Amino acid sequence: MIGTNLSKWPVLVALVTVLTACSKQESNLDVQASAVDNSEKTAAINLKDVDLKKTETHVEEVLKQDPDFVQQLLASSVSSQSDMFNREAVIPPQCYTKTEGHFNPCYTCHQFTPRNQGRANRMGDGELQGDYGFSDLGTTNHWLNLFEDRTERMAKISDAEIDEYVNYDNYSSLADRLMAQGWDAWYPDLKNLQLSEAAFDDQGFAKDGSGWVAFNYMPLPSTFWPTNGATDDVMIRLADDFQKNQHGEFDRDIYLLNLTIVEAAIKNFTQLTIPEIDENTVGSDLNGDGRLSKTITLKRPSNYLGGASDVQVKSFLYPRYTEFLHTIRYVGVRENGEIYTPPRMKEVRYMVKTEQHRKSTLGAFYAEEQKDKLEGNLPRYASLGEKGLDNKFGWQLIGFIEDKNGELRQQKFEENFFCMGCHTTIGSTIDQTFAFARKIDGAKGWGYLNLKGMPNVPMFGSDKSANFDYLERVGGGNEFRENEEIDARYFKHGQLDESSLAAVRDVYELITPSPERARALNKAYKTIVDDQDYIYGRDANIKPAVNVYRSIDTEIEPLEPEYRAAFDIRLDWSSVTGDNSNSPKVESRP
């Protein structure tokens, strides 16, 4: 139990929240509401004499959406740490949810480090389910878009207009536009990605030969559920040596085997299924039976294969130069009402692992992060210009987002800063990532994301559907408990309706919206694009959020002890794969 473990983690009990990245500050901090210090249009907001805990109305008066400020920010440097509206942008909007002591959206991010597994993630921030630990600056909710009523503006957008907008390809031109401006960093190099599954073959390999491979996974609850406003996909690519055989030639079999070894390492599994292969063709006893023959099983080796045979396999860690490509899109609606992944992208996100640190070194990084929080240091991340931001743990992240005309542009510093909250120091991630650990195990998990026919499987180590468990713990269809359609489908009188859930056929049915809701969410987000005020939040809420604090009283515990929960980001896919051998490999070494 979380409550019983607190005494064993004295440093972590005092730890200020991983997302705020700082502890108590002097109460006379200024929130700079101007991107230019000498701006005459927008003055700095001084909170010195403001008691943010008196009334939420007062907070609303202090922080106001200012279009002039947004434009100044967009015109300023992409790397300016000082020109920020929200120095605590690493705290996502969901952290301001009114939990009322028992609704728990916190557990999917904040977790204790499991013992005796050799995990690289040493954050162990599960106590944050019971302690806000925000800095003084972070107690004020800067995500102002949560409180905007968009209904009047949405009414001016017809269904036909939004459908046409969503089905427009704003991806294909991005690479050429970047190259034309002398871009000197990664650019979207996967051709025809706007076509979603049509860009990949049945095993997920990109048809353009770029080395990107799509995989089928269960989206993390609930921001990436289509019913809450976005479809998405994730692709992985390993370094060239992992794609080649010992002769230096591209070898698809070797590449897929190395990808499977990465999967086994990240999930800490001893073996996984693979498409049938003749071990003689790769010259390796893949299933460990002492002979070379045909096999559909790969036992996790100590080293990778082919051109990467000198690289040691490390549990819970990706090899150096692993890349991820993540697109976040609108919710497409076909003529028959089917929900699908449309061409238009809200965001294109990319991350690459440029440094391979030892687990002991990563542990020191986590300790340094804790020290910064305890000393009250606000979060800081180095800007790499066109390469994005350095997350301090070996990864570089960059994002592209829609401009006012709907074309993709590089995110500004503060917009990219927002991504650091989830891809740095929260306890539930594996090597700072989410999706790959949630991939369908082994051979059946290679291929483009497909929610149809995907069962609502349990969390690893549990026997209850992970999605059903989430709905019950959160008390609704999203962190804010404001998805009225999910409430109507699966809740009765505020309680989860087990009979309704029993009739759910697959993940697609559970987490996709009706065509009406999909179009409404698309319209709501389009108004954010029009305003370009992503620094105020990018959640596609239709009406002002009700179950969200405008300021936090840190003396109040978010959740009573009995409502705190353990969570493993991995899933039990044995009902899909028929393989019950995927038990975690226990390691005594650090």
Per-residue pLDDT tens digits for 138-155: 999 999 999 999 999 999
Number of domains in the chain: 1
Q: Is residue 102 in a domain?
A: no
In whole numbers, what is the pLDDT of the chain averaged over residues?
Answer: 88
Residue 580: CB atoms within 10 Å: 9
Q: Give the residue-averaged pLDDT of 205-227.
A: 97
When pLDDT is cut at 50, 70 and 90, the band that residue 39 belongs to is very low
Please report, for residues 42, 75, 266, 395, the alpha-carbon distance to residue 392 in angstroms, rounded to integers and kept in the order given: 33, 27, 20, 7
Reported confidence tier of residue 159, pLDDT bands at 50, 70, 90: very high
Name residue, tokens 């687990």: 359
In a domain, 4, yes or no: no
Q: Which of 567, 575, 518 is nearest to 220 (CA)?
A: 567
What range defines the domain where residue 309 resides? 241-317
Q: Which sign does the torsion angle of CA 76, 79, 84, 89 carry?
A: positive
Indicate the pLDDT class of residue 8, thresholds 50, 70 and 90: very low
Mean per-residue pLDDT, 1-17: 32
User: 313 in a domain, yes or no?
Assistant: yes
Mean pLDDT value of segment 272-288: 97
Measure the CA–CA gap between 568 and 460, rounded to whole angstroms: 6
Within-domain flag for 332: no
Q: Does the residue 223 lie in any domain?
A: no
Alpha-helical (H) ranges within 224-338 are 252-267, 279-282
Give the pLDDT confidence score for residue 172 in this predicted structure.
Answer: 98
Section 358-377 average pLDDT: 85
**Out of 46-60, 184-198, 332-346, which region has the weakest mean confidence (pLDDT)?**
46-60
The whole-angstrom separation of Cα 142 and Cα 95 is 12
Confidence of residue 80 (pLDDT cuts 50, 70, 90): low
Indicate if the pLDDT at residue 77 is higher than 80: no
Per-residue pLDDT for 33 more than 50? no
Whether 122 is covered by a domain: the verdict is no
The pTM is what?
0.89
CA angle 351, 355, 357 (to 5 degrees): 120
- pLDDT score at 79: 55
Is residue 255 domain-resident? yes
User: Which tops the pLDDT comparison, 123 or 44?
Assistant: 123
Answer yes or no: is 216 within a domain: no
Kindly indicate the confidence band of residue 59, based on its pLDDT and cuts at 50, 70 and 90.
Answer: low
